[in-house]
Structure 1
Amino acid sequence: MAASEKAVSASFMEPFKDILVNYLMPEKCYDEFFLNFNFLHVDCLKIIISKGLGIGIILGSVLVKLPQILKVIGAKSAEGLSFKSVMLELLAITGTMAYSIAKSFPFSAWGEALFLMLQTVTIGFLIQHYKGSTVKGLGFLVIYFCLVAVLISPLTPMSVVTTMQASNMPAIIFGRLIQAGTNYRNGHTGQLSAISVFLLFGGSLARIFTTVQETGDSLMALSYIISSCCNGLIAAQVLYYWNVSPAVKKKAE
């Protein structure tokens, strides 16, 4: 490519360079795409796809459990939701967040854990609140956030954080199996939000690729593989019980 054409391209893209290099690609990939016009550079394409998916997952995670929260508040009931399952899910999310911070992974590789944590802990409180145990729910919030503050502080040894991340796998499995068992016993999915379930399933699938690409951490990748399988089980139940509601189930009985 002529030097003059490269100069024109560089001049046109200059206002966007800082944003692209800081958030989507390293400078070598910026040069490949916008100076050399090599849009089929495999390594750079992988980086951009991974970064784009990571940012998309984080943006989506801001709202992923909002339908679930609104459904519970709208019904003024947490029927069909298991508090034990929520606790195990929080253990897994918190472990991933603390491990990623300790390892200094880029925010695009784990940022959704922060938003999922805030929404999941809200659901945990709502379950207690609608069971008539609001004080217990408030105590749960205080204790949980105190524990999180300790975990992400320098006071917690790396070995403890790594152990937490390793415990994600059984926590995810048991948490999802508890929820699946609750759905099976009830014969319906209660106030479980289909939108939230499918978004979680899609997000965990995408995270397998981004984790391998951005961190190369096999422990985190395995956690997301297991999470995808377990989220897929709940998604399958949502489809199976699609036309069954608590009211219909009780009437049938």
Structure 2
Amino acid sequence: MSSLIDSLKHFCNLTTIGACVFRKIPQIISIIKAKSTKGLSLVSLLLVLTSYTILLSHSVFSGYALNSSEYTLLVMQGVVMLAVFLSFTGRLAVCLSAAFYFAYSIAPVILPHAIITTLVGLTIPFGASSKVMALVTILQSKNSAAISVTSWIISTCTTLTHHFTIYLESADPALLLNFGTSTFYNTYVLMAVIVCKPKAKKE
């Protein structure tokens, strides 16, 4: 039984890392294709990027190698997505803003472990708030044309597999609560994206 669980754990770890290689890419492509950010929230993007950064720092300090690789990829994709979002909203100094946020995002890695551990507690309200903002923005605009269903499916599945593997590996309470909450909210946002997706016009 233990060998079966270990195999399942390794499978979940590998598929999670594999999915994170392109988790945000479908969303970036959707924005570029739609040439619009309608239905997307800047506040949500900033909150989730901050959450990823804190979890990256926590994973580095705690020696979670796979998690560190995942969050490194997510932070990089998050910065690119932020730059694309700003470029389509007509914001000035897009590259400068993205570079500044990237510099800010890696700064917590040099902070003491005690501070990082404290900040991990903030990822739950940050993550939940980002999902709520995303959900509210979608429902207000009633249009999710610029939002990628694929990205939200990947996000929902990876948070679920994360919850499972963390429970088996370390049972870290902060991370378990964080990923459990994320899975819950991701599911609701995914449903909203699907419901508010404009129907294709019949020719």
Q: Which runs of 5+ in 1 are unaligned?
A: 1-41, 248-253
1:91 to 50, 58, 79: 50
Evaluate the alpha carbon distance shift between residue 240 and residue 88 of structure 1 in structure 2; reply closer, same or farther with a 3 A threshold: same
Q: Which residue of 1 aligns with 2:87?
A: 129
Letter in 1 for 2:15: G
Identity over aligned pairs, percent: 21
RMSD: 1.7
- What TM-score do you get using the length of structure 2 for normalisation? 0.92
Q: In structure 1, how many angstroms separate the alpha carbons of the residues matched to 2:46 and 2:159?
A: 19
Question: Do structure 1's residue 113 and structure 2's residue 68 form an aligned pair?
Answer: no
Could you tell me whether the CA contact under 8 Å between 1:51 and 1:108 is conserved in 2?
no
Q: In structure 2, how many angstroms separate the alpha carbons of the residues matched to 1:180 and 1:223?
A: 18
Question: Do structure 1's residue 159 and structure 2's residue 117 form an aligned pair?
Answer: no
Evaluate the alpha carbon distance shift between residue 141 and residue 121 of structure 1 in structure 2; reply closer, same or farther with a 3 A threshold: same
Count of equivalent residues: 201
What displacement does 1:63 show? 1.2
Q: In structure 2, how many angstroms separate the alpha carbons of the residues matched to 1:73 and 1:64?
A: 16
Q: In structure 2, how many angstroms separate the alpha carbons of the residues matched to 1:96 and 1:46?
A: 25
Letter in 2 for 1:139: L
Q: In structure 2, how many angstroms separate the alpha carbons of the residues matched to 1:109 and 1:71?
A: 26
Q: Which residue of 2 aligns with 1:64?
A: 23
After TM superposition, list the pairs within 5 Å mapping 1:211-230 onto structure 2. 211-230=166-185
Q: In structure 2, how many angstroms separate the alpha carbons of the residues matched to 1:186 and 1:149?
A: 33
Letter in 2 for 1:140: S
What displacement does 1:134 show? 4.0
Q: In structure 2, how many angstroms separate the alpha carbons of the residues matched to 1:144 and 1:199?
A: 24
The C-alpha deviation readout for 1:100-132, integer Å capped at 9, x for no partner, is: 101112x22453222122112211111111111
What displacement does 1:203 show? 0.8
- What TM-score do you get using the length of structure 1 for normalisation? 0.75
Q: Which residue of 2 aligns with 1:80?
A: 39
Q: In structure 2, how many angstroms separate the alpha carbons of the residues matched to 1:241 and 1:209?
A: 30
After TM superposition, list the pairs within 5 Å mapping 1:27-46 onto structure 2. 42-46=1-5
